[in-house]
Structures are given as C-alpha cells and as structure tokens.
Amino acid sequence: MIRAPSPTMLTNQTIDPSRQHSPERWHPLLRPFMRAWEWLVPSSVAARDRQSPLARYLGLSLVVGTSITMIVLAVIYAKPIQDSWQTSRAESMIKESRDLMQNGQMANAFFKAQEAYQKAPHSVEAIRYNAEIFLHVRPETTIWMIDQLKDKGAETLEDKMRRVRALAKLNRSKEAEAEYQKLLREERASEALMKLGEDLWGTKQQNPAVLAMMKEVAAKNPDDIASTLRVARVQVASNLPTQVAEGIDSAWKIAQSDDVTGLQALEFLDGLPAIPVEFAIKFIQRLKTHPKGDDRHYIAALKREVKLYPERKTSIITEAMKRYRERRRDELQPFIRWLVEEQQFLEVVTLVTEDEAKAHQGLLENYLTALTMLRRFDQIERIISDPDVAKILDPTTHAMFRAHLAFVTSKPAEDFRSLLITAKDMAERNARFSALQRIAEYAEARGHFDIAEDAYRLTVAAARRAASPQSPLVERAALKGLITASEKNGHSEASFNACRDAITRFPEDTDFLDKALYISLLVGHEIENSLKKAGTLLQAQPKDHQRKLMMALAHWRMSDAQRAIEYLQYMDLNHLTEGQRAVFAAIAASAGFREQALGVAKAIDPKSSMFPEERTCYERVFRAR
C-alpha cells in the first residue's frame, strides 16, 4: 500500500534552487554581509516574494543613492580626470618637441609645442615650455604665457628672468630694468640672476641704478668671483670713465687666477678694443701661459703682440711657426686661419702640405684661400676636382669653391652664374641659412643682384624655419640685403614687400619704416596714410633729408607741387641716392624750377641703378625742357 507524503516531508524539502548558494555556504566572516545582501537584493523570484516591504524600500534607496553618488562623483571628478589625461598627452608632446629641437627640426618642434598647449592649455608645463620656446621669435607671446603662469601662482624665478629677457627683446628697456631691479631686491643672489644682468646690459651703456644694484649684490658675495667678473663686464660697457677703469682693473685681478674664471677674465679683456698700456706686455704673456688656455688664446696673444710691435711682425710669425711645425692638424687650424688673416699666404703653403690640407676641412678652406691669393689656380682646380676632397668638404662649400674658381680664373660669366646658382640651390636643400647668406653677399659683391636677391629671400625663409637664437640676427641682415638687392635690380614691388615684411618682423627698426614709406609713395600705395606716417617721422627728426623728400613726394603725388616744393628747400643732396635725386629734380621741375632741376639731373649718372619710377622721374626732367 502506498502512503501519501506527509506535510513534514514537504516542508523539509529544498524547493528553492538558489538555496545552494545561500550565505551559509560562504566563509563565516562574510556571512553577515551576504545575509544583508540577500535581504536587500534577493537572488531569486521566490526570495523576492518573501522579501519584506522594509527591505524593498531600503534596497531601492540603496540603488538610487548609489546612482546619485556616482553621478555626483562623475560631475566632480570628470574634468580633473580629463585634465589629467590631457596633461599627460601634452607632456608627451613636449618631450617630442624637445627631441625635435635637439635634432635641428626647429619648425616641427614649434608646431609640436603649440599642439601641446592646445591639447592642455591648463598645463603649467605646456605653458612654461611655450614661453621658453617662443622667447627668441615671439617675445610678446612669451610674456603672455608667463602672465598665465603668474595667474596660476606657478611663476618661478626662471619665469621671471625669462620675462625680463622678453621685455628687453621687445626694446621695452625701462620695463626690463624695473623688473630686473625688483628681482635683485626680492630674490636671493644667484649666478643665473647675475648672468641675466650681464647678458642684457653687458654690451651697452647701462642704467647706473641697475649697475649699482649689481655691484651691491656682488659685494655681499666676495667669494663669488664669477659674479664679480660679470659686474666688471657691465662696468666696462657703461662707458662711464670711472666705471670702465674700475671694471678693467677688477677683471685684471681676476685674470691672475689659474682657474676657468681667470681665463674668462682674460678672454673678456682680450675682447676690448684697447687695454691699458701699463699691463699690455704682462697681459700678452699671461694670455700665452695661462694653465687653462689653449691654441686659441695663444693666437689671440700673437694678434696682440703684432699690434703692439708691428715692426717685429716677421720675427713674431717666424717664432710662432717653429712652435706649430710639429702640431697635429686640429691644433694647427687656428694658427693657419690667423696666417690667412695676416695675409701670410706663402707661410700657409709652406707650413701645410697639400696632402695634409686635403685631409682636414678647416685646413683645406684656408689652404685654398691662400692658393687663390697666390694665384695658383691650376693647383686649386686639381684639388677641387679630387673625389676625396668632395668627401671632406660639405657639398655647399665645395660648390662655392667651384664657383669662386670660375670667377678668379675669368671663366665666362654664364659658367660662373651657373655654378653660383648651383651653390645656392645646394645651400637651400641643406637648409644652411648661414651659407645662403654668404652666397647672397658674394653674389651681390660681384654684381649678380638677381642671384643675391633670391639667396637673401631664401636666407630669410631658412632662418625663420630654423628658429635658433641666431635666427633674428641673420633674418634682419638678410632682409636688409634683400631690400638693397631689390633696389639694385630695380624691383620696386619686391623691395616694398621686403620692407613691409621687415616692419612686421622688426617694428622697432625705423630704417625699414623709412624705406617702406618711401617706396610706398614712389609706387603710389596708400598715399594719404603714408603721408601721415612720414609727417610723424619728420617731426621726430626735422633735419632728416630723406624724410623731407618723402613729405615732398607725398604732396607731389597728391598733385600739390607748391606744397611739395616747401620741403625741398635747404636740402643736402649728398644724403640722397641718385634715384632720390631724380625724384627731387622731377618735383622741382614740376613746380617751375626747371633750370635748377636740370642741373641736379645732369649730375646723376644715367647708368646708376634706380627703381623704374625713379628712372621715369629722371627722364621726365629732360623731357620738360
């Protein structure tokens, strides 16, 4: 007989499959937490049905509270997390920029630095690096970046000193001096701070207040002879007789030291145009025998000695040749360069053999120069044609020597031009702005102004791409050369564009502004605006003859010949170019002074280089007869 199951059997059975994962199966220490979790968040439908209302409300509150907490935390911390990630990316870009800078890829380094700032404009490191990298090309940007650091409370002493340098580069001298004096008062004296004063004011007349403060700081640190030497440099640059004498005396005392600072004091004194006669002989001997000195200092002593005893020049050179007869090539180069400077070309080829010269680039360049002056052109051609020489000389220098050889041997002009253009193209491919500048100057000196104009333009572009500390100096010189070459080529528009570019780059240079205004009036650009600018410039220097001519030209362009003639009175034509004299004559002729204008025009060489507009003025005077 089959019995029905009892109620007791049913209640003792496990009817909930989730019971196999009940809290009792966890470690005893975890069971209270798991029971609380099971109470708030049931793991099965059956357990959820048995859940009390209190547990349900508490579970729902827990879910809502957790969600709200997560949202609040996201709002609070999302931006800092994003900023942190962006800062990390910016720091990586800055490292890439520094690597590019070390590899000479200046333009790419600048772009990468800007990208880092755009990625994380809040990053102190990105701001500081951009302030550093823009110092030599956009000092106004450097100041703006440092202001951001100041607002963030992250401005360091280095940042403050960089601000002073930027102000000085912008020719805001008074502000730079005020900032520097503030640093001397507030900051602890350091080598970097004293070096800043030397760098900015050690090569020009100095504000006595800054000099006095630098002396005071140095006096508090008598053992810091490096700072004392820096003060001496600034004293000499002050052009105040008492300070100059004190600075030279201080530097000479430091020069008695056998350490590196003593040698630096000697180098500083050697850089002066003249040194006191009372210790000139001792100075030359010290320069020759300083323990830290090398062949460069010995050569500097020889230069001083020849200048002091010109009648003994031959014996001094003969004695020095004995010293260098057995020297290695690297040690020989400074002496050979000096012999070339002293035009001792025969001594160069006597001391150095052709094989020795062909094995060393520095020696070879001086050796070829000596051969050129000795007119040994066959030997030069043989050396230049040697395949081994082509490996030693860099391609640009090799191409330049080939062009120079064609010039000195009077080869056809087209051959010389072709070789000179090849050298220019080689320098452009290698991005050597210094070589491009030398080629431009070389072409200009030999009358090939079109090549010079192109080379100067390439020099400006290469210097900007390189963005090195030397770039602004090279760029300024190249722009001046470009303007001159354009004038000699008669390219008024090219010259005007170069002047306008120069004004944008160097707004403080009034020479560029004068030239730009003159050409603008000459070709008829923005006459009324140019008239106002020319009037402002003339008020600053009422006796400037070229500015008087600009005012006259402006009124003449506006068909007011009578007003124009007022500015031509009492003008010294010796201060004008021949093209400007032609303009003077045309204005005078149009105002009725034909005989006087004709006299000025007849004195102008008709073959002289002029702008087309100046040439038109010149011809107009003769047509008006």
pLDDT tens by residue, 196-228: 776 776 555 555 666 766 776 677 677 777 778
Per-residue model confidence as pLDDT tens digits over 41-52? 666 666 665 667
Q: Which two tokens stand for residue 366?
A: 């001086």
Return the CATH class of domain 66-155.
mainly alpha
Q: Which residues contact 456 (CB under 8 A, 6 or more apart)?
A: 436, 437, 440, 478, 479, 481, 482, 485
Query: What mean pLDDT comes out for the span 315-337?
Result: 79
Per-residue model confidence as pLDDT tens digits over 486-514? 888 888 888 888 888 887 777 767 788 88
Query: What mean pLDDT comes out for the span 75-86?
Result: 61
CATH of 394-489, one of 1.25.40, 1.10.10, 2.60.40, 3.30.230: 1.25.40
Report how far Cα 163 is from the mean position of its chain's Cα atoms: 16
CB 321, CB 349: distance < 8 Å: no
Least confident of 20-24, 242-246, 327-331, 493-497: 20-24
Residue 37 has pLDDT above 70, yes or no: no
CB 284, CB 308: distance < 8 Å: yes
- Interhelix angle 53-102/31-40, rounded to 10 degrees, is 110
Per-residue model confidence as pLDDT tens digits over 388-430? 777 777 788 888 888 888 888 888 888 888 988 888 888 888 7
Look-up: residue for tokens 């109620």? 7
245 sits in the region (left: phi over 0; alpha: psi -120 to 50; else beta) called alpha
Query: What mean pLDDT comes out for the span 75-89?
Result: 64
Q: Which two tokens stand for residue 498?
A: 């170069």
Per-residue model confidence as pLDDT tens digits over 136-146? 777 888 888 88
Instruction: Say whether pTM exceeds 0.75.
Output: no
| Coil vs helix vs strand at 227 | helix
Look-up: residue for tokens 């003249």? 274
CB 451, CB 417: distance < 8 Å: yes
- Interhelix angle 191-201/173-186, rounded to 10 degrees, is 160
Look-up: residue for tokens 């496990």? 14
Task: With cut-offs at 50, 70 and 90, classify the pLDDT of residue 17.
Answer: low
| Coil vs helix vs strand at 224 | coil
CA distance 517 to 546: 11
Query: What mean pLDDT comes out for the span 450-472?
Result: 81
Residue 84 has pLDDT above 70, yes or no: no
CA distance 421 to 399: 9
Residue bearing the bigger pLDDT, 288 or 81: 288
Q: Which two tokens stand for residue 433?
A: 């702005």
CATH of 494-625, one of 2.40.30.10, 3.50.50.60, 2.130.10.10, 1.25.40.10: 1.25.40.10
CB 184, CB 214: distance < 8 Å: yes
Q: What percent of the chain has pLDDT over 90?
A: 0
CA distance 256 to 455: 48
Residue 235 has pLDDT above 70, yes or no: yes
3-state helix, strand, coil in the chain (%, to 5): 75, 0, 25
Least confident of 52-66, 224-238, 567-581: 52-66
Q: How far is CA 217 from CA 183, 210, 221, 225, 244, in A?
A: 11, 11, 7, 12, 19
Going from N- to C-terminal start, the domains of the chain cover 66-155, 394-489, 494-625
Question: How large is the C-alpha radius of gyration of the chain?
Answer: 39
Would you say the CATH fold of 494-625 matches that of 66-155? Answer: yes
Per-residue model confidence as pLDDT tens digits over 247-278? 888 888 888 888 888 888 888 888 887 777 77
- Summary mean pLDDT of the chain: 78
Residue 430's pLDDT is what? 75
CA distance 100 to 106: 7
Q: Which two tokens stand for residue 338?
A: 């000096």
Q: How far is CA 545 from CA 249, 428, 566, 586, 595, in A?
A: 45, 40, 13, 16, 22
CB 462, CB 436: distance < 8 Å: yes
Residue 130 has pLDDT above 50, yes or no: yes
Query: What mean pLDDT comes out for the span 232-244?
Result: 78
Q: How many helices (H) and strands (E) does the chain have?
A: 36, 0
Task: With cut-offs at 50, 70 and 90, classify the pLDDT of residue 374.
Answer: confident
Sequence length of the chain is 625
Task: With cut-offs at 50, 70 and 90, classify the pLDDT of residue 466.
Answer: confident
Report how far Cα 465 is from the mean position of its chain's Cα atoms: 10
CB 196, CB 180: distance < 8 Å: yes
Residue 423 CB-half CA count within 13 A: 32
Amino acid at 423: A
Residue 518's pLDDT is what? 84
Query: What mean pLDDT comes out for the span 95-121?
Result: 74
Question: Of the spans 190-199, 429-438, 611-620, which averages the highest pLDDT?
Answer: 611-620
Q: Provide the greatest CA pair distance for the chain.
A: 156
Query: What mean pLDDT comes out for the span 474-488?
Result: 86
Residue bearing the bigger pLDDT, 459 or 468: 459
Residue 1's pLDDT is what? 44
